[in-house]
DNA sequence: GGGATCGTGCGGCGCCCGCCGAAACGTCCG
DNA sequence: CGGACGTTTCGGCGGGCGCCGCACGATCCC
């Protein structure tokens, strides 16, 4: 006997403690839905293996699934789990510094990711940190006593950017997210998501290939300079490879 | 072959994916240092087993150790890992609602914990949330656009509470921490730690037995009403059992 | 010095779980 | 309708790892 009562924390951690499942979650941090087969190939395991892993992750509340015909699409269950996995991954990467990129394609892709990428549903990389710094320097975002938009910040979203910033459920309006390439905070939360979505909608940034990496367009560079005084937002160029999506 | 390259995220999660190690970490969330033997008894495993687990956790950067004579004291490595484990535990407990307390002692201890406790180094439970709400209601803490102290809040710490609130390394001044009994946010970060330490120093709250549970003293209740307008801060009474520390 | 107490290294046992292949089911499309 | 494709279920295999007991070293206290 002695069934050693379950520990919820351990059960949750066990879901992420397998290399294959962890790879799935990291891939899904791009915020989009992948099919079971894509994830299987991405992680290098048989389809049957991937299927079992996905069932576990869905059952554990980490992933949400959506079936369409013969496809099974999965995505992260929500911003909360995305944040949790980001935090965990950031902490893990601090302890174990990233190994040198094995291939040239990977190195080029890594450069593009470091320049600008999405982090679930907001901006990250040098671009994400630069935008966050600019907001802070202009008094729109307060970082010295915590992490929150100022009244000027609210006004900036409404007037300058021209978008409504409405509360969405229990999700905080602004939240600090640790950037694992810059090792600094960038803007997450509702404001971060709205900002990222707006830039994508207006064509100010576009996705490179099918991955998480982003490129700032020429109109985007002008807009960012007008709105935030951001100079020389380096465009990652079109050199970068597509990304890890098969 | 096919060593399936290591995934740092999975390695980190694996450390927490064992019931015994998870129990260790949860116990250490009281912010203090435990000896190896205490933890072994607490988790119900042999001393040799505990010793191996502790070595893994220290090696993985989760715990810090300090040897004193024949004792090996361990504590959480810092506020960052404490926050990480709190987040993880909160998310896990949301999915798996807590089972009914098995014994009367446990039930009474749970009541005391729900009323007021420490969460690593800051206040939690109904008391922690009430203090956070009071700060917010008085315009000292801004929660609508993120989570940060206002200028009035800074002044309140200095003038009303009478403590210096100096930046400490990279740790944020204020941070939201999800309270797992109230399912609301309470104040963490440097401000939360300073506030909790101050209340303990002045005898406004005291620890119940050797556990995490806190009790508001009579002078403490008066002070909290004066400083924050907090009325009827229920004292958990002295009925509560000591806690889980052996 | 001697007897408790605390922590650690080593075998050895047993179980859990991640992996695959094969077969079956459902869907899509020609 | 039939073949191609994506996914799921089921055995079965193998390795990893969490557990203990025991022996040993270190420390404290009488």
pLDDT in tens, B196-232: 999 999 999 999 877 789 999 999 999 999 999 998 7
A49 touches strand C (CB under 7 A): yes
pLDDT band at B2 (very low <50, low <70, confident <90, very high): very low
Whole-angstrom Cα distance, residue B193 to residue B121? 5
Decide: CB of A51 under 7 A of nucleic strand D. yes
Q: Residue A172 has what pLDDT?
A: 94
Nearest nt (C1') from B46 Cα: D20
User: Which has the higher per-residue pLDDT, B100 or A153?
Assistant: A153
- pLDDT-derived band at A241 (thresholds 50, 70, 90) equals very low
Nucleic strand C near CB of residue A55 (< 7 Å): no
Residue A238 has pLDDT above 60, yes or no: no
Residue B173's contacts (CB-CB under 8 Å, 6 or more residues apart) are: A144, A145, A146, B148, B149, B165, B167, B189, B190, B191
Confidence of residue B239 (pLDDT cuts 50, 70, 90): very low
pLDDT at A243 over 50: no
Among chain B residues, the shortest Cα distance to A148 is held by B146
Identify which of B4, B19, B146 has the shortest CB distance to residue A7.
B19
Span A166-183, pLDDT tens digits: 988 889 999 999 888 888
Spell out which residues of chain A touch residue B145, defining contact as CB-CB under 8 Å: 148-150, 153-154, 173-174, 191
Topology adopted by domain A8-77: Arc Repressor Mutant, subunit A (1.10.10)
| Chain B 121-150, residues with CB within 8 Å of chain A CB atoms | 142-150
Write down the pLDDT at residue A121: 95
Strand D contacted by B7 CB (< 7 A): no
With 0-12 / 13-18 / 19 or more C-beta atoms within 10 angstroms meaning exposed / middle / buried, residue A67 is: exposed
pLDDT above 90 for B100: no
The domain limits of chain A are 8-77, 100-228
- Report CA(B77)–C1'(D27) in Å, whole number: 26
Cα A25 to Cα A218, B144, B147: the distances in Å are 33, 30, 28
Per the structure, the residue whose CA is closest to nucleotide D28 at C1' is: B70
Q: Which residue, among A42, A64, A148, would best test binding to B if mutated, counting the most B CBs under 10 Å from its CB?
A: A148
Nearest to A16 among B13, B61, B176 (CB): B13
- The integer distance in angstroms from the CA atom of B94 to the C1' atom of C18 is 27
Determine the average pLDDT of the residues in A52-68.
Answer: 96
Percent of chain B with pLDDT over 70: 90
Using a CB-CB cut-off of 8 Å, the residues of chain B touching A15 are 13
- Which of the four pLDDT bands, split at 50, 70 and 90, describes residue B102? low
Is residue B11's pLDDT more than 50?
Answer: yes
Residue A202's Cβ-side half-sphere holds a number of Cα atoms within 13 Å equal to 19
Mean of pLDDT values over A133-151: 97
Whether B235 has a pLDDT exceeding 60, the answer reads no
Q: Where is pLDDT greater, at A233 or A35?
A: A35
Give the C-alpha distances (Å, rounded to integers) separating B178 from A89, A186, B8, B66, B110: 20, 21, 26, 30, 18
Cα–Cα nearest to B9, from B96, B84, B64: B84
Predicted pLDDT of residue A240: 41
Helices vs. strands in chain B: H and E counts, helices first: 10, 11
> What pLDDT sits at residue A181?
85
Residue A238: C-alpha distances to residues A50, A108, A109, B63, B86 (Å):
33, 10, 11, 44, 42
pLDDT class of B238 with cuts at 50, 70, 90: very low
Distances (CA, A) of B61 to A94, B81, B84: 10, 9, 12
Kind and range of the H or E element at B100? none
pLDDT value at residue B71? 94
pLDDT for position B231: 85
Q: What is the pLDDT of residue A98?
A: 65
CA→C1' distance for A37 and C18 (Å): 18
Mean pLDDT of the B20-43 span? 96
CA torsion through residues B101, B103, B108, B113, sign: negative
- List chain A residues with CB under 8 Å of B189: 146
Q: Taking all residues of chain B, what is their mean pLDDT, rounded to a whole number?
A: 89
Q: In whole angstroms, give the CA distance from residue B27 to residue B55.
A: 17
Find the residue in A nearest to B88 (Cα).
A9
Contact call for residues B38 and B28 (beta carbons, < 8 A)? no
- On strand D, nucleotides with any atom < 7 Å from a protein CB are 5-11, 17-23, 25-28
Residue A231: per-residue pLDDT: 84
Q: How far, in Å, is the CA of A244 from the C1' of nucleotide C30? A: 32
Q: List Cα–Cα distances, B236 to B30, B118, B127, B199, B220, in angstroms.
A: 18, 14, 10, 16, 13
Contact yes or no for B145 and A174 at CB 8 A: yes
Q: Which of residues 13-42 of A touch strand D (CB under 7 A)?
A: 35-37, 40
Name the minimum distance, in Å, from the CA of A95 to any CA of chain B.
7
Residue B77 to residue B74: CA distance in whole angstroms? 9
CB atoms near residue B197 (< 10 Å) = 13
- Percentage of chain B modeled with pLDDT above 90: 75
| Residue numbers of A between 1 and 30 with CB closer than 8 Å to B | 4, 6-23, 25-26
* Predicted pLDDT at A124: 94
Contacts 24+ apart (CB under 8 A), B51-58: B53/B18, B53/B20, B53/B21, B53/B24, B54/B24, B56/B15, B56/B21, B57/B15, B57/B21, B57/B24, B57/B25
CA distance B82 to B30: 10
> Taking residues A84-98, what's their average pLDDT?
86
CA/C1' separation A163–C3 (Å): 77
Local confidence band at B6 (pLDDT 50, 70, 90 cut-offs): confident
pLDDT at B30 over 50: yes
DSSP β-bridge partners for residue A67: A72
pLDDT of residue B243: 43
Pick from A116, A118, A120, A124: which is nearest to A80 by CA?
A120
- Rounded to whole angstroms, the distance from the CA of residue A27 to the C1' of nucleotide C28 is 27
Taking CB atoms and an 8 Å limit, are A22 and B7 in contact across chains? yes
pLDDT band at B98 (very low <50, low <70, confident <90, very high): low
Q: Is the pLDDT of residue B97 over 60?
A: yes
B109 vs B37, more confident: B37
| Nearest residue to B193 via CA among B82, B107, B37 | B82
Mean pLDDT of A137-141: 97
Question: Cβ contact (<8 Å) for A11 and B92?
Answer: yes
Q: Taking 90 as the threshold, does the pLDDT of residue B175 lie above it?
A: yes
Does residue B246 surpass a pLDDT of 70?
no
| Mean pLDDT (chain A, rounded) | 89
Instruction: From B207, B7, B3, select the one nearest B113 (Cα to Cα).
Output: B207
């Amino acid at each position: 006997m002695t069934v050693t009562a379950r520990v919820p924390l351990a059960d949750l951690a066990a879901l992420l403690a397998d290399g294959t499942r962890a790879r799935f979650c990291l891939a899904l941090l791009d915020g989009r839905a992948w099919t079971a087969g894509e994830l299987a190939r991405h992680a290098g395991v048989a389809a049957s293996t991937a299927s079992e892993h996905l069932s576990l992750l869905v059952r554990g509340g980490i992933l949400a699934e959506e079936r369409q015909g013969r496809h099974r699409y999965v995505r992260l269950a929500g911003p909360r789990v995305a944040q949790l996995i980001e935090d965990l991954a950031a902490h893990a990467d601090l302890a174990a510094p990233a190994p040198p990129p094995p291939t040239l394609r990977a190195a080029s892709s890594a450069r593009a990711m470091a320049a600008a990428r999405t982090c679930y549903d907001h901006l990250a990389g040098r671009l994400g940190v630069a935008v966050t710094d600019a907001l802070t320097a202009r008094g729109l975002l307060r970082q010295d006593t915590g992490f929150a938009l100022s009244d000027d910040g609210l006004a900036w979203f409404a007037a300058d950017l021209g978008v409504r910033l409405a509360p969405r459920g229990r999700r905080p309006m602004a939240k600090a997210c640790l950037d694992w390439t810059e090792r600094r905070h960038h803007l997450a939360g509702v404001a971060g998501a709205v900002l990222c979505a707006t830039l994508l909608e207006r064509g100010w940034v576009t996705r490179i290939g099918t991955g998480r990496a982003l490129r700032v367009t020429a109109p985007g560079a002008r807009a960012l300079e007008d709105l935030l005084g951001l100079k020389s937002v380096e465009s990652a160029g079109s050199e970068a490879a597509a990304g890890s999506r098969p």
